[in-house]
Structure 1
Amino acid sequence: MRPMRALVRKMSFAGMCGAVVAVALAAPGTARATAGGPAWRLTPTGSEARFRGLAAVDRSVAWLAGSGGAVLRTTDGGGTWRNVAPAGAAGLEFRDIEAFDARRAVVLAIGEGDASRVYATSDGGRTWTLGFRNDEPKAFYDCMTFFDSRHGLAMSDPVDGRFRLIATGDGGRSWRVLPSAGMPPALEGEAGFAASGQCLVSHGSRDVWLATGGGSRSRVFQSRDRGLTWTVADTPLPSSPSQGVFALAFRDSRHGIAVGGDYRPGEPSPTAAATTGDGGRTWQAARRPPAEYRSGVAYSGPAALAVGPTGSDGTLTGGRTWTRFDTGGFDTVDCASGGACWAAGEKGRAARLVFTRAG
């Protein structure tokens, strides 16, 4: 969707961490970092890129993907970041990255025509394989997800009236276009938002969801067979060229969260979150959503985090009610096992979630 592209361009909290988050989020607060609770600890990257792609591997390892062809990796908890971008990528806009460990990662570049590409590395970014270069002029790829280290999908805005999916079975080294017969028709103007790498997400070995906006309704598509056939459901989030569902997160095959709103600065987003308890067949507006637009969301055990340009919120109610705990801006968030959560955004901002003590 051209107007949208022009403007956007396009915890597992386990054990002690879960207990700390539960106590912190039980009390309201809008300070930059709530005393005695979760807080973002910035980890200087030395970059001015805007990082909308993020892959949290664990407390030590994370990968970032951003503007100007930037791909960064840390293996020491953010103490140092190394630029490991593919050679010749300076003109690309990386918006999503999926990583499986400190050595293996797959990164997605967005854009018109052959600017949409996918690269894969198995040696920590020393070398990259160009696994996919788009040759369909109507396609514009937004997001990517993996079921395991070999099988994954990437999605494009509609081509000939239907969202387009490509699939890999070898860790991103090669891709094929999936048949579109099982995809419901797109609405006029409907598209995905390449804002946080979370408009296409998966859980388990076969379930995958696709988030949209831009049309007359914001919707979530759902597939139980790795993208071959799909159903679609409306959500209560508003939809327009600047509104819709920007990000999804699923705790299991049934319970999920959608966040979004209106990304334009200063515009209200009164319905910025919704939840599902039936795998995405129906969606309900959050009773107390984040107060403003949110572009990224991640589950971490029983808790979840949502981030956006104006702050970060947490929930312990499956997304029905949210509490702000930070006012710094981020575009995307991701959590690995053991309570390892990371966030990233503009001007090279990257941070790791820590827990402060009261007093």
Structure 2
Amino acid sequence: MRYFTTFLLTIILVSCTSISKKEFKSVTIEPIFEDSLSIRAIAPIDNNKVWFAANNGIVGIIDETTPKLATIKYEDSLLNFRAIAARKNAAFVLSIANPAVLYKIGYNGTEATNIEEVYSEKGEKVFYDAIAFFNNKEGIAMGDPTEDCLSIIITKDGGSSWNKIPCDELPKTENGEAAFAASNSNIAIVKDKVWIVSGGKKARVFHSADKGETWEVYNTPIIQGKTMTGIYTVDFFDENIGVIFGGDWEQKDFNEGNKAITYDGGKTWKLLSNGKGPGYRSSVRFVPNTNGNGIVALGSPGISYSADQGKTWKELSNEGFYALEFVNDSVAFASGRNKIAKLSFK
């Protein structure tokens, strides 16, 4: 029995080592959809299919290179969508600005079926930024403050109904603190835990360990103080290791105070490669199956990659995108101005 256990441990250690050392040398960018749209929200179904939400009321599925599109109108208005989440039998798209409208779109595995309005909110300050799900029943969406807290709505019935959390149950926001609807990646979820990021006059991380029942808020060293500074995107590898990215949208090359990592679930953050590597980026993701070492960050200036948890970076492409979502450890989808592409990392 001793020999078997030793042999098994050896296999595990070798396997982990090989995974953690996987390193990308290049990326192949394959355009799969081009249109006169701003596409800031994508949700892959598999290697060949991806949901997307865009401006001008357009939502759809790209099946390989075949688009299946729908135009959603609210009364006489074409809504702008920058948030999307996909479940097995449905997708959810959430519009920015006033009114905010959330739709549930049925999906039969091939195409969209019914479209149902499941939440709406009106108000001068209403502006929702991102949406994500814990599981098939429970989900969360976030937006800018309409009072003195972030706007956070939750569902517990698979998205059929949503309720807004009152401000007296949430941390207070500072004057001028809000969020950016840049890539639908203001929310990160691991099991029951959720992290939400802010920007503007303050750049902070709001955290709930119980699916939004109770909340804490943590400061970060990310650049802040101006309208377009702060955290634009967040991702967590596990319950402890997370990364935030952003910067100054008005000085996209500025690479100080724009990226940081946590090892304690978001309580404290340490700047990454400060003054080195990429500047402003709008979407960051841990590469699957790299033990939290591989990170890809992209934005309008291009695609950046780190194999060592953000200590050093290489530029894989100067082609600009807004949003990034991995399907597996070598394939991802990216969306941007007028386009969606399939990215193959090698």
Shorter-chain TM-score bucket reads 0.7 to 0.9
Which of 207, 215, 221 does residue 206 from structure 2 map onto? 221
In structure 1, what is the Cα distance between the partners aligned to 2:330 and 2:70?
Answer: 26
Match of 2:143 among 143, 147, 156: 156
Letter of the structure 1 residue corresponding to residue 187 of structure 2: L
User: Structure 1 residues 107 and 165, CA, compared in 2 at 3 Å: closer, same or farther?
Assistant: same
CA–CA distance in structure 2, aligned partners of residues 46 and 321 of structure 1: 33
Q: Hey, what's the Cα distance between the residues in 2 that align with 1:340 and 1:104?
A: 23
List gaps (5 residues or longer) in structure 2.
Answer: 1-14
> Which residue is equivalent to 2:30?
41
- 2:311 maps to 320
Q: SS where residue 328 of structure 1 aligns?
A: coil
Tell me by how many angstroms 1:72 deviates.
Answer: 2.3
Alignment of 1:1-359 (within 5 A): 22-25=22-25, 37-43=26-32, 45-76=33-64, 79-86=65-72, 91-101=78-88, 103-112=89-98, 114=99, 116-123=100-107, 124-204=111-191, 206-215=192-201, 217-239=202-224, 240-264=226-250, 268-287=254-273, 290-301=277-288, 302=290, 303-337=294-328, 339-347=330-338, 349-355=339-345
**Residue 91 and residue 187 in structure 1: after superposition, are their counterparts in 2 closer, same or farther (change >3 A)?**
same
Against the structure 1 CA distance between its residues 140 and 24, is the aligned structure 2 distance closer, same or farther, given a 3 Å change threshold? closer
Contact 2:72-2:78 at 8 Å conserved across structures:
no
Q: Please give the alpha-carbon distance, in whole angstroms, between the structure 2 residues aligned to 1:23 and 1:318.
A: 12
Question: What TM-score, normalized to structure 1?
Answer: 0.83
**TM-aligned CA deviation for residue 90 of structure 1:** 6.3
Find the aligned partners of 1:323 and 1:21 in 2 and give their Cα distance.
15
Tell me the SS of whatever aligns to 1:281: coil
Off by >6 Å, runs of 4+ in structure 1: 18-21
Relative to its length, the structure with more strand (as a share) is: 2
Q: Structure 1 256/168 Cα, relative in aligned 2: closer, same or farther at 3 Å?
A: same
Sort the Cα spacing of 1:158 and 1:266 in 2 relative to 1 into closer, same or farther, 3 A.
closer
2: CA distance, partners of 1:95 / 1:192 = 13
Identity percentage over the alignment?
28
Q: Distance in 1 between matches of 2:101 and 2:316?
A: 36
Shift of 1:213: 0.9
Normalising by structure 2, we get a TM-score of 0.86
Give the deviation of 1:337 after TM superposition.
Answer: 3.7
For residue 22 of structure 1, what is the amino acid of its counterpart? K
CA shift, 1:327, in A, is 0.5
Output the amino acid matched with 1:40: I
How far the C-alpha of 1:328 sits from its partner, in A, is 0.2
Alpha-carbon deviations, 1:131-181, whole Å to 9, x = none?
111134443211111111221111121232111211112332211112333
Q: How many aligned positions are there? A: 320
Q: Look up the equivalent residue of 1:343 and give its one-letter code.
A: A
Offset at 1:202?
1.4
Q: Using CA pairs below 8 Å that are at least 6 residues apart, which structure has the higher relative contact order?
A: 1
Is the partner of 1:351 in helix, strand or coil?
Answer: strand
Secondary structure of 1:280's aligned partner: coil
Match of 1:3 in 2: none
Q: Measure how far apart 1:265 and its partner are.
A: 5.7
The answer to whether the Cα contact below 8 Å between 1:297 and 1:333 also exists between their aligned partners in 2 is yes
SS in 1 for 2:22: helix
2:8 alignment counterpart: none
